[in-house]
Structure 1
């Protein structure tokens, strides 16, 4: 509606009016778009509503520019095309980093905050494969699966969408990753500068993550989780939903497995996604299967060290004298075979 490669540039006056309208009290994305349709322009709308004062916009813009960022207003040529097409597209985005990433195809990756080591390993492998195929990896900069995907995709391109203002680092443990993405990827937020994230901000953030993307990849989603919200939003936006399956006995995968049951695309490796999106395949082996071959020499050691009593994964690594990566692959293979149970505190036992 607003964007396109041949769309005319917004006039400076209209662009400023859209910023003021978007930052007005009690005007969210849906009402913003209704106002544009009703009045024909943000300039006319601002004359009829209590629009945010120019001084407020100037302060926020100054803060953003000092951080090396800028506004993206819907209607700008740099505003991402896929996102502009959703009904509740954010009227304004704050951006810090490489705007060129928004011109490339993107895939979203989401999953558990309290992710297993194996889940994070799989997320990193998949993000690397997706990146090698030319996709930007989009996610929400949460801990767990999000962080693993962002970290693995830094070299090929990653976009992090924040639930609070673009200056708000959340969670604090991702402070370095936040800084790395600002330098080598792209940070985006629809929230004003200085606004901390609150519960209702996360679903709003999730619609942007999926809206930027051709599809959403779900890893380790519980039945009631933010990942399930993102998957639902993706389906409503007409995006494909891809899911890595897990053991039916593991509650961490209840949501993931239910998505597959309801028609989501089961993923074994990056090429499953690329084929679905009609993209060229990359040299790859199935996730889990490729690891199985490398992990086979360590399986006997792990089985000997495991029993019905939960054991810390770190202790298994020391006891079996294998790398953490090899241990993750062995445990994943056992889990997919239905022989392994996971417990709180990163502990595992044989079933």
Structure 2
């Protein structure tokens, strides 16, 4: 994942991770807007130097949660600590410990990339010489040296996102909040941001990432918290969440869809019949791999004996998309069957 866009960045200073204190602690956070409760008792912790992915549908309360942690909103109930500082009583200390990047770059478009970085450095208390040195270091680290003298208003979307994040790192934070940082970016620019997140982890900087891209959370997050309707509904690693949905399964795609019913009959004694599900619009079947690869081998043997031709058969795991859809589905809606080949292969890139 590490690439040239931000490779080689060696920020000055270090963070002491010798203790066991979490970098972020949210404990029963509540935020109301009139009669509407946007965040309803959200609790989680983020270990130092790790990436937490905060997932949820639009309006779930992700950005409101981040804004409380970043001291932009005061909680109506509950508490939170960032780098050991209370977000209500120690707001100044919290702000000195964090960097917050939203969906849109907070830059002066009339200034050049270098001028923006120097300005941020001066605002953060660096003298002129130190601010210029730091600006040069960040421009090189984020592969923006050639564009240093260009006005930010002329930057591409990916370059704007990189310079925005660089500005927030003029003085090294302990915690970085990235609120949907790749929204609206092209695939190459998204990859640039992913490289940056990976480098932040390598440098021991804690990152809280909200994203609408499940693949992004799968690739980058050490731990994931799923929020829906203002509440935490699941938490764990991507692997743990995938296992929670349905575990490993076998996907069987016959060359002739008319063989689906015959295949179902042949496999009915491997698992309960109601656990053999139709998938891909009725052109495939998914079967729980109750014995792992042994289940797959038995399926192939039986279908080969029955001379049933297959387009594909394999051992799959549910994608994070499957997890998300199942966890956030209305109570009266049947959860979708695993999406199988395409989504899992995409998420494994």
Query: Normalising to structure 2: TM-score of the pair?
Result: 0.28
**Which has the higher relative contact order, 1 or 2, with Cα contacts under 8 A spaced 6 or more apart?**
2
> Higher Cα Rg: structure 1 or 2?
2
The structure with the largest strand share of the pair is: 2
The structure with the largest helix share of the pair is: 1
